Homo-oligomer: A and B are copies of this chain.
Amino acid sequence: MSDDEVTRQMGSRITQHRDRFQDLFQKYFAQLHASSDAPELSRFAPECLRMVEELALRGGKRQRVAFAYEAANLVPGGAMTVKAVDIAALSIELLQAHLLIHDDIIDNAATRRGGPSTYYAYRDKFPDHPQHALGFAVLAGDLALVLSQQVITEAGLDPWLAQSMAAVQNTAGLSTFIGQVFDLERDFLGVPEEELLHSVCDFKAARSSALAPLQLGLLAAEQDPKEHEPTLRRYSTSFGISGQMRDDYLSLFGNEEVTGKPATADVADGRVTYLIRRTLLAASESEQKILSSVLGHAGATQTDVDKVREIVTAHRVDQSLLADMRRFAELASTEAEQWASWAEADAVAFFRDVPVWGVQRLL
């Protein structure tokens, strides 16, 4: 099968999971509003929940959800456990909503998923009360984090399963927070080794976006993920690094409609990504000056972005990054192929092919 064919099939498979989930997610929020214990006299409390809902439902491709459903399908006879895997998917996307809401406070980011970040939605709503807007956004994020736990504990699942799923999500949350601290720490470190960027990526993204959905899907199908822990970790880390390299590439060369944020955002932010790191190391003295004059300056313009792009391409850093992105995708694929000894072939094929799909998405 050609890469194009893989991409097409994978796209439709992921879309099926997404559509099914989207319906479930809408019903979840409708029920939450109906059963909510908010004080009668408050208008802002139900609105805070709607803010979480608005961001949560404005999800993109829902790769994490597809991972959970397909991980359940890895287990022979595991397809029966629809309810548990639905709960896992809801918890995953609520945790993700939490991470995005707080991440946009931390990065002071105005846009997310092609719309306003929750923080900026509140700032627009209360233009004369920035401190209140910050407070409401912090609380909306906290709300989403506890909802990601509550959906598990209140689902009426077998207590052992509920406890195991909650433990996976706790670990995923802790890893991500530590990764976010590490990510901010980078700004104080100059140009770090690539090994450090791998570690940030693993903690900040791979564990909550790939490892936890895999673990939760297996659990939902009554397979203890600890039996496969090392290979699941290797897969997730490689998949995560490949995806981060793609995102770093897209943030400079991608279409705003795909990334959901302006190309100027990463230049203005000035964080040392995989792409920027390699560019800083390759740049001549005069190029260094140009880079330091535009990277990390809040008012970055399209012209600044073009200047950075020019230096990146002059040193073919874009090409070296794309090559490594493919290499990590292939590492993940090779890892997944070995699951055939214990898992259903069709779901193994999904995990083997999805890294390639991830790579193709930017082309």
Contacts and interface: CB of A to CB of B under 8 A. Distances in A.
Interface of A: 37-45, 48, 98, 102, 105-108, 129, 131-132, 134-136, 138-139, 141-143, 145-147, 149-150, 153-154, 159-160, 162-163, 166-167, 170-171, 173-175, 177-182, 184-185, 187, 195-196, 199-200, 202-203
Q: Is the interface of A mostly helix, strand, loop or mixed?
A: helix
A147 B149 CA distance: 12
Contacts of A170: 146, 149-150, 153-154
A46 to B, nearest CB: 9
A267 to B, nearest CB: 17
Contact of A159 (B42, B163, B174): B163
A131 B146 contact: no
Contact of A41 (B105, B141, B150, B195): B195
Contact of A153 (B132, B163, B199): B163
A39 B41 CA distance: 46
A39 B182 contact: yes
B146 A184 contact: no
Contacts of A98: 142
A115 to B, nearest CB: 21
A41 B136 CA distance: 34
B174 A44 contact: no
Nearest to A171: B150
Given A167-B154, A203-B39, A178 B45 contact: yes
B139 A106 contact: yes
29 contacts: A37-B174, A37-B178, A39-B178, A39-B182, A40-B199, A41-B196, A41-B199, A42-B178, A42-B199, A44-B182, A44-B185, A105-B134, A106-B134, A106-B138, A106-B139, A135-B180, A135-B184, A139-B177, A139-B180, A139-B181, A142-B177, A143-B178, A145-B146, A146-B173, A146-B174, A149-B149, A150-B171, A154-B167, A166-B166
Nearest to A43: B185
Query: Assembly of this chain: how many copies?
Result: 2
Given A142-B102, A170-B149, A203-B39, A44 B181 contact: yes
Contacts of A149: 149, 166, 170
Contacts of A167: 150, 153-154
Given A175-B37, A184-B44, A138 B136 contact: no
A108 B138 CA distance: 12
A48 B153 contact: no
A167 B162 CA distance: 11
A98 B141 CA distance: 13
A208 to B, nearest CB: 11
Given A153-B167, A163-B159, A181 B131 contact: no
Nearest to A129: B187
A174 B199 CA distance: 33
Contacts of A175: 37
Given A37-B174, A150-B170, A159-B159, 14 more contacts: A37-B178, A39-B182, A42-B178, A45-B178, A48-B178, A48-B181, A105-B134, A105-B135, A107-B135, A135-B184, A138-B138, A145-B145, A146-B170, A146-B173
Contacts of A202: 39
A113 B175 CA distance: 29
Contacts of A154: 167, 170
